[in-house]
């Protein structure tokens, strides 16, 4: 069971990394998460249910989201609407979870994924319940840092 948690987490991490590389050209590096208490402006979550139930989270600042979505769409940063920015982050989350799902299904484990959801605000602080299994990382580079969390329910 623990092995599948690690596989699923790795698949999601790779999914985020590959999605960003393909859609923006940014080849980000993966780090163990060293700033759990950092505050974010956009935090997205998508749930996966099946053999294991998990919540995938990505969190990012508004400024960094603007950079990513600008590269995704080819639209200049000052011409992007708030809706386009949030839509772009939601798409990254959705596509990344889709990739994680398909890779784990290659191991003949069936999963369903929920619709992605975002919470948008100022200096959001991400907190989790004690005593749950989780993995947390940071993808960074090119002036972009994304906090990634995988939480098992």
Partner 1 sequence: MRLLSVDDSMVVRKIIKAAVAVLDFDLEEAENSIEAFEILDKFNGVIDLVLLDWNMPGLSGYELLNALKKDIKYREIPVMMVTAESSKESIVNAIEAGAVNYMVKPFTMEELIKKIMECIGKGEA
The footprint of partner 1 (CB under 8 A) covers 18-19, 22-23, 69, 72-75, 83-84, 87-88, 90-91, 94-95, 97-99, 101-102, 105, 115
Q: What are the percentages of helix, strand and coil residues in the chain, rounded to 5?
A: 40, 35, 25
Q: How far is the CB of 113 from partner 1 (least distance, A)?
A: 9
Q: How far is the CB of 37 from partner 1 (least distance, A)?
A: 30
* Two tokens, residue 114: 């929920």
Residue 101 vs 138, nearer CB to partner 1: 101
Residue 99 vs 147, nearer CB to partner 1: 99
Residue 36 vs 107, nearer CB to partner 1: 107
Any alpha helices (H) in the chain, and if so which ranges?
2-24, 62-73, 82-105
CB atoms within 10 A of CB 153: 12
Residue 63 vs 110, nearer CB to partner 1: 110
Beta bridge partners of 118: 44
Q: How far is the CB of 28 from partner 1 (least distance, A)?
A: 14
Beta bridge partners of 141: 144
Contact 96, 56 (CB under 8 A): yes
Q: How far is the CB of 11 from partner 1 (least distance, A)?
A: 12
């Amino acid at each position: 069971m623990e092995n599948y948690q690690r596989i699923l987490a790795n698949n999601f991490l790779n999914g985020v990394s590959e999605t960003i590389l393909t859609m923006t050209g940014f080849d980000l590096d993966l780090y163990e998460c060293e700033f759990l208490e950092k505050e974010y402006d956009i935090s997205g979550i998508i749930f996966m249910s099946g053999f294991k139930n998990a919540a995938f989270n990505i969190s990012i600042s508004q400024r960094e989201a603007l950079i990513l979505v600008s590269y995704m769409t080819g639209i200049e940063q000052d011409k992007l609407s708030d809706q386009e920015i949030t839509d772009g982050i939601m798409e990254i989350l959705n596509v990344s979870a889709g990739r994680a799902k398909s890779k784990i299904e290659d191991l003949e484990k069936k999963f369903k994924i929920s619709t992605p959801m975002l919470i948008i605000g100022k200096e959001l602080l991400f907190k989790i319940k004690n005593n749950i299994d989780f993995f947390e990382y940071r993808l960074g580079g090119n002036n972009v840092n994304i906090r990634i969390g995988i939480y098992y329910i």
